[in-house]
Amino acid sequence: MTISASATILNVNDDEATRYLSTRTLTMAGYRVLEAGTGEEALRLAEQERPDVVVLDVKLPDISGYEVCQRLRARPETASIAVMHTSATYVTPDKKVRGLEGGADAYLTEPFESEELIATVRSLLRMRRAEQELRRRAEQLTETDRRKDLFLAMLAHELRNPLAAITTAVGILERRTSVDPKDGRMVSIIQRQTNHLARLVDDLLDVSRITRGKVELRRLRVDLRGVLEQVLTTFHPLAEGRHLKLESRLPAMPLWMEGDTTRLEQVFTNLLDNATKYTDAGGSIQVRVELSPAGDGSPGALVRVKDTGIGIRADVLPVVFELFSQADESLERTRGGLGIGLTLVHNLVEMHGGRVEAHSDGPGKGSEFVVWLPLLPAASVSEQEVVLPTLVKRRRHILLVEDNADARQALQDLLETWGHRVEVAADGLRGLELAVQRTPELALVDIGLPGLDGYRVAAELRAKMGHGIRLVALTGYGGTDDQSRARQAGFDLHLVKPVKPDELSRLLSEL
């Protein structure tokens, strides 16, 4: 075996004769050898020289070799150095165990043959190099993962700007009466495909955040039945467009639980999207809800989403919730999708304290996804929590700060169609000037603005106008850190592009 001349060994022993013999053996084997006669000197040399291996006698005049080893392991700069204990007196099994438990990588009893010393050093060097290679690869993977997350965030931001403009423009077209029925069909197609693209962007980012533990639920008391009704209302037109029969059977009373409304909607949107994607025209989708207490008697609900689609093979069922797993693996990829929707479903359901299962009798026999979620005890839901807010509509004075020309024009037209008075600015500095001069009651501010970004605009407006203006962030960045930064800058709300017209209308009504 060829030995690298760059390998450095620190030989620590207070007995000069023993230290000399070990140093000579190691030097003749091609190693660079440093010497120390005390524990403190060994620690100083280890920190300065960073040797590859320390050959460390247990019995030293100042501090024991056990303590030297522990202190080496405790310091980040010396923690990875390989340590081999040697001793002529501390040779009982309990002493060896103490040394190894204290952080040593090997233990030799003196006297030892030179071949045994060299072989042990070589073994430790191989181990150290393997650890260094693993650490280097781990650092590369961490950096690659960081760059991937940064790329996904930038990609989502760039995709959401045009999606925001398209969504807003379609919202305007939907409210106009057209003589030609084809126009209405084209608008519906654009709206459905834009919503689909927006969901893909959200899923792509969410699966990255969830796998890194970066998603936190905004837990509130939520009516699960209301969540399902909202999702079903959204999917009825899509099902009709695909010539599918969408049936539902929901309980008459509310199903109160503690959860995140947005994430729960995401769960059932993905399940219904999956069902419509894998069910051909003429098929059917059923959504049923059953009360199902947990094993300890606590309340719970089962939500069943069953379709008559292409089904799932038996070998795919065990991995259907794994990332990038798909039922349609044909070269044609006629069903589309990224293979991440069910991974999101599984993780989000578990984050709510629930579970999800997939069932199918095989190809061509449809599939069923069953979600169990815990419900709140009836006594914990007060009467006030079932009262819905009253929506009050009124004309408002709005400042829109957006650098994307298409998105700015489309959103301005939509707001003016609703009767609002709108001021517009293409950059942060102009937006700040208009806000101070015209004193709008609400400012919709993009974050990625030239010159003065949205965070600085918000901070300046809060400093100049206090709470006399409501600030809403419009951005393609939707991570938890982005939301926290928006709140710290002074924003009242954080909306992720593209914002659906109905959501924006509701926001203005509830303001």
Residue 351 lies in a domain: yes
Domain co-membership, 497 together with 409 = yes
Distance CA 204, CA 226 (A): 26
More confident residue, 320 or 217: 320
In 352-479, where does DSSP find H-type helix?
A: 405-417, 428-438, 454-465
pLDDT of residue 471: 93
Residue 316 lies in a domain: yes
More confident residue, 52 or 382: 52
Domain co-membership, 224 together with 165 = no
pLDDT of residue 383: 42
CATH code at 167? Answer: 3.40.50.2300
Q: How far is CA 436 from CA 87, 432, 433, 466, in A?
A: 79, 6, 5, 11
Residue 41 lies in a domain: yes
pLDDT of residue 179: 63
pLDDT of residue 21: 92
Q: Per-residue pLDDT for 91 more than 80? A: no
More confident residue, 193 or 34: 34
Q: Is the distance from CB of 368 to CB of 302 less than 8 angstroms?
A: no
Domain co-membership, 367 together with 418 = no
Please provide the size of the chain in residues.
511
Instruction: Indicate the Cα dihedral angle 413, 416, 421, 422, nearest 10°.
Output: -10
Q: Is 358 helix (H, G, I), strand (E, B) or coil?
A: strand
> Global pTM?
0.47
Domain co-membership, 364 together with 417 = no
Using the 3D structure, point to which of 325, 348, 377 is the last residue of a domain: 377
Domain co-membership, 366 together with 412 = no
Q: What are phi and psi of 56, to 5 degrees?
A: -120, 115
Residue 314 corresponds to which amino acid? Answer: A
pLDDT of residue 153: 65
Q: For the chain, how many structural domains are there in total?
A: 3
Q: How far is CA 472 from CA 167, 458, 469, in A?
A: 18, 9, 10
Structural domain including 167 reads: 149-215+390-511
Using the 3D structure, point to which of 112, 130, 162 is the last residue of a domain: 112
How do residues 3-16 score in pLDDT, each as one tens digit?
444 789 999 999 89
Q: Is 277 helix (H, G, I), strand (E, B) or coil?
A: helix
Nearest to 154 by CA among 461, 479, 432: 479
Domain co-membership, 326 together with 224 = yes
CATH code at 314? Answer: 3.30.565.10
pLDDT of residue 152: 66
pLDDT of residue 373: 95
Residue 450 lies in a domain: yes
CA quadruple 430, 433, 438, 442: dihedral sign: positive
Q: Is the distance from CB of 86 to CB of 108 less than 8 angstroms?
A: yes
Q: What is the mean pLDDT of residues 368-380?
A: 86
Q: Per-residue pLDDT for 342 more than 50? A: yes
Domain co-membership, 256 together with 315 = yes
How do residues 487-509 score in pLDDT, each as one tens digit?
899 999 888 887 777 778 878 87
Domain co-membership, 252 together with 350 = yes
Please calculate the CA angle 257-266-186 and round it to the nearest 5 degrees. Answer: 135
Domain co-membership, 245 together with 288 = yes
Distance CA 121, CA 31 (A): 10
Domain co-membership, 185 together with 251 = no
Domain co-membership, 241 together with 362 = yes
Residue 119 lies in a domain: no
pLDDT of residue 367: 94
Q: What is the mean pLDDT of residues 175-200?
A: 71
pLDDT of residue 331: 37
Instruction: For the chain, give the percent of residues with pLDDT over 90.
Output: 30
Instruction: Indicate the Cα dihedral angle 468, 474, 480, 485, nearest 10°.
Output: -50
Nearest to 131 by CA among 64, 66, 52: 52
SS (H, E, C) 130-195: HHHHHHHHHHHHHHHHHHHHHHHHHHHHHHHHHHHHHHHHHHHHHCCCCCCHHHHHHHHHHHHHHH
Q: Helices then strands (H, E): number in the chain? A: 14, 17
Q: Per-residue pLDDT for 204 more than 70? A: no
Q: Is the distance from CB of 67 to CB of 35 less than 8 angstroms?
A: no
Using the 3D structure, point to which of 377, 398, 415 is the last residue of a domain: 377
Residue 22 lies in a domain: yes
Domain co-membership, 237 together with 373 = yes
User: What region, left, alpha or beta, does residue 310 occupy, with left being phi > 0 and alpha being psi -120 to 50 degrees?
Assistant: alpha
Q: Per-residue pLDDT for 387 more than 60? A: no
3-state helix, strand, coil in the chain (%, to 5): 50, 20, 35
More confident residue, 53 or 409: 53
Distance CA 443, CA 435 (A): 8
Residue 122 lies in a domain: no
Residue 144 lies in a domain: no
